[in-house]
């Protein structure tokens, strides 16, 4: 049997091939658009978290400063009163209790400020950009097609070389750990 096709069949097949290529191109563009939207959402969320964390850091830092000053003044007053009146318990004890309370509040506010300050580092965005090969962490993260977690890879990343020097990128700049 001979396989003879008419010119119309060949044109129809060619047109169908063009349609398939066009559909594949549209699907690829839709994938790029979805990935871009997801990355934009991630960056926006990370920036929002960083802004919120920075504001809270400032608030708790202000609290730590205020209560630290008050604690210092109160503990100083308690020491002066204790030495002046030779254990005048009612005044001295009340000042000591207040100074201790201020010191505990200072510790708490400082601890909270340090916790919130960690959110300003935009870790999720840095990991995703590194996964795409962008940024200083890109040499320390798995390839985009790899099933390995980027978070696990960056958490396991060494922060110092064998000689004790900080890890540097190819330009000789210190790599900030995530």
How many other C-beta atoms are found inside a 10 Å radius of the C-beta of residue 155?
A: 12
In a domain, 54, yes or no: yes
User: Could you read off the pLDDT tens digit of each residue along the chain, which spans 178 residues?
Assistant: 445 677 778 888 888 888 998 888 898 899 889 988 888 888 888 888 888 888 888 999 999 999 989 988 888 777 767 656 665 666 667 777 777 888 898 899 999 988 887 777 777 777 777 777 777 677 767 777 778 787 787 777 777 778 877 777 676 767 766 6
Q: What's the pTM?
A: 0.41
In a domain, 161, yes or no: no
* Confidence (pLDDT) at 64: 92
Q: Cβ(128)–Cβ(163) under 8 Å?
A: no
* Confidence (pLDDT) at 1: 46
In a domain, 78, yes or no: yes
In a domain, 163, yes or no: no
For residue 51, the enclosing domain spans 44-143
In a domain, 139, yes or no: yes
In a domain, 86, yes or no: yes
Q: Residue-wise over 104-128: b if at least 16 C-beta within 10 A, else e?
A: ebbeebbebbeebbebbbbbbbbbb
Structurally, the chain folds into a number of domains equal to: 1
In a domain, 138, yes or no: yes
In a domain, 136, yes or no: yes
């Amino acid at each position: 049997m001979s396989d003879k096709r008419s010119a119309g069949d060949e044109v129809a097949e060619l047109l169908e091939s063009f349609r398939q290529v066009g559909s594949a191109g549209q699907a690829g563009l839709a994938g790029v658009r979805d990935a871009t939207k997801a990355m934009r959402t991630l960056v926006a969320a990370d920036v929002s978290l960083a802004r919120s964390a920075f504001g809270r850091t400032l608030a708790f830092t202000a609290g730590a400063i205020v209560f630290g000053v008050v604690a210092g003044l109160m503990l100083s007053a308690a020491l002066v009163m204790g030495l002046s009146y030779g254990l005048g318990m009612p005044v001295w004890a009340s000042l000591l209790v207040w100074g201790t309370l201020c010191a505990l509040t200072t510790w708490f506010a400082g601890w909270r400020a340090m916790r919130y300050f960690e959110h300003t580092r935009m870790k999720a965005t840095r990991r995703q950009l590194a996964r795409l090969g962008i940024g200083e962490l890109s040499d320390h993260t798995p390839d985009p097609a790899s099933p390995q977690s980027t978070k696990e890879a960056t958490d396991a990343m060494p922060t110092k070389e064998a000689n004790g020097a900080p890890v540097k990128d190819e330009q000789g700049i210190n790599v900030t750990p995530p």
